[in-house]
Amino acid sequence: MSFVTYEAKDLIGIVTINREKALNALNTQVLNDLEEVIDGVDYDTIRCLIITGAGKKSFVAGADIGEMAEDTKAEGKEFCEHGNRVFRKIETLPIPVIAAINGFALGGGCELSMACDIRIASDNAVFGQPEVGLGITPGFGGTQRLMRRIPVGKAKEMIYASINIKAEEALKWGLINAIYPQDELLPAAEKLANRIAAQAPIAVRAAKAAMNEGIDVPMDEAIQVEVKHFSDCFETADQKEGMKAFMEKRKHEPFQN
Ligand code: CAA
C-alpha cells in the first residue's frame, strides 16, 4: 500500500500524502512513495502539479519523530539527505508545483510546502519549524529555504524560538499567497493549476527554469539565464501562434506541449 496517491485531471495532477492517522508525517516509506509518484507523472502531458495532504487537519505534521527517535548520527544524516533529495527533485521539476496546505505544515511539512513553487492554504493551516524543541535543526531544507521565502530575521525567530504561525500571519510574511476556507482550498488550487496549464507550456517551463536557475546566482549571471530561456522560446510554435494571434486580434489556438 502506498502512502501517496495520484490523480491526473486532464492537464493537471494532484498528489496527496495519505497517512492521516499520523497527520501525514513523513517516514522513509512516505518519502519513497512520494518520490515514486513524482517520478511516475507523465510530464509530456501534465502541466502543473498540486501537492496536498489527506483529511481536513494536516498537510504534513513533519518528519516522523518516532522513526528518528533512536537514530544514530549516520542514520540522521541519511534521513536528512533522503528528504532533501526528494524535496529538491520537487523544487526542480520541469513544471510548476502548487502546495495546497490544508492544516498543519510543521517541520518537514513546512519544508515540503517551501519546495513547491506556490503555496496557498486553508484558514486552519499552521506553519512552523519546531525542530529545536526536539533537539535537532530543521533537516529537509528548512534552515535554508525559510530564510529565502520570508525575511531572514523572521525565519530565525521562528526557528530559534520554535514559533508556529497561523495562516493569517503566514500570509502577512509572504510565506503563502492566499487563504481559503478548507472546502474551497482544493478547488482554488485546481483553478490556479488549470490557469497555468492554459498558458504556453514550454514558456511556463522556461519561466520556472529561469527563476530557479537565477535566484541564487549574481545578477549578471542571472540575466544570462533569462537571455537563454527567453531566446529559446522563439523556436516554439507557441511563440509564433501566440504573437500572431495578438497581432490579428484573435484568440490564439490551443498551445502545444
Ligand atoms: N511524527 C510522528 N507522528 C506524528 C507526528 C510526527 N511529526 N505528528 C503527529 N503524529 C502522530 C501523533 O503521534 C499521533 O499519533 P497517535 O494517535 O498514534 O498517538 C497522531 O499523529 C495525531 O497527533 P496528535 O494526537 O499529537 O494530534 P494533536 O491534534 O493533539 O496535535 C500537532 C497536532 C500539534 C501537529 C502534534 O501532533 C505535533 O506537535 N506533531 C509534531 C510536529 C513536529 O514537531 N514536527 C516536526 C517533526 S521533526 C522534522 O520535521 C525534522 C525535519 O525537518 C526533517
Whether 163 and 150 share a structural domain: yes
Phi-psi region of 103 (alpha: psi -120 to 50; beta: other; left: phi over 0): left
Q: Give 109's Cβ-side CA count (13 Å radius).
A: 33
- What CATH number is attached to the domain comprising 112? 3.90.226.10
Whether 100 and 211 share a structural domain: no
Q: Tell me what percent of the residues of the chain surpass a pLDDT of 90.
A: 99
Within a domain: 253 = no
Cβ of 59 closer than 6 Å to ligand 1, yes or no, is no
Within a domain: 255 = no
> Cα dist. 199→193, 225, 226, 238, 252 in Å?
10, 21, 19, 9, 10
Measured from the Cα of 129, ligand 1's closest atom is 46
Whether 194 and 234 share a structural domain: no
Cβ of 162 closer than 6 Å to ligand 1, yes or no, is no
Report the pLDDT value the prediction gives residue 84, as an integer from 0 to 100. 98
Cβ of 142 closer than 6 Å to ligand 1, yes or no, is yes
Whether 46 and 105 share a structural domain: yes
Cell 484573435 sits on residue: 250
Host domain of residue 37: 4-198
**Beta pairing, strands 165-166 & 126-128:** antiparallel
Task: Indicate if 111 belongs to the active site.
Answer: yes
Give the burial string for 163-186 (b: 16+ CB within 10 Å, else e). ebbebebbbebebbeebbeeeebb
- For 125-150, how does the pLDDT look when each residue is reduced to its tens digit (9 = 90+)? 999 999 999 999 999 999 999 999 99
Cβ of 108 closer than 6 Å to ligand 1, yes or no, is yes
CA-nearest residue for atom 18, ligand 1, is 22
- Using 50, 70 and 90 to split pLDDT, how confident is the model at 178? very high
Whether 118 and 55 share a structural domain: yes
The active-site residue, picked from 7, 81, 91, 131, is: 131
Whether 233 and 156 share a structural domain: no
Mutate to test the pocket of ligand 1, among 19, 20, 23, 106 (most ligand atoms within 8 A of CB): 23
Cα 133 to Cα 91: distance, rounded to the nearest angstrom: 27
- For 13-35, how does the pLDDT look when each residue is reduced to its tens digit (9 = 90+)? 999 999 999 999 999 999 999 99
- What is the reported pTM? 0.98
Within a domain: 153 = yes
Whether 194 and 104 share a structural domain: yes
61 CA → ligand 1 middle, Å = 5
DSSP code string of 15-48:
EEE--GGGTT-B-HHHHHHHHHHHHHS-TTT--E
Q: Which three cell numbers stand for residue 85?
A: 533529495
Check if the interface score ipTM surpasses 0.95.
yes
The CA-based angle 233-235-239, given to 5 degrees, is 55
Q: Which three cell numbers stand for residue 161?
A: 524560538
CA nearest to 61, candidates 92, 101, 104 = 104
Cβ of 254 closer than 6 Å to ligand 1, yes or no, is no
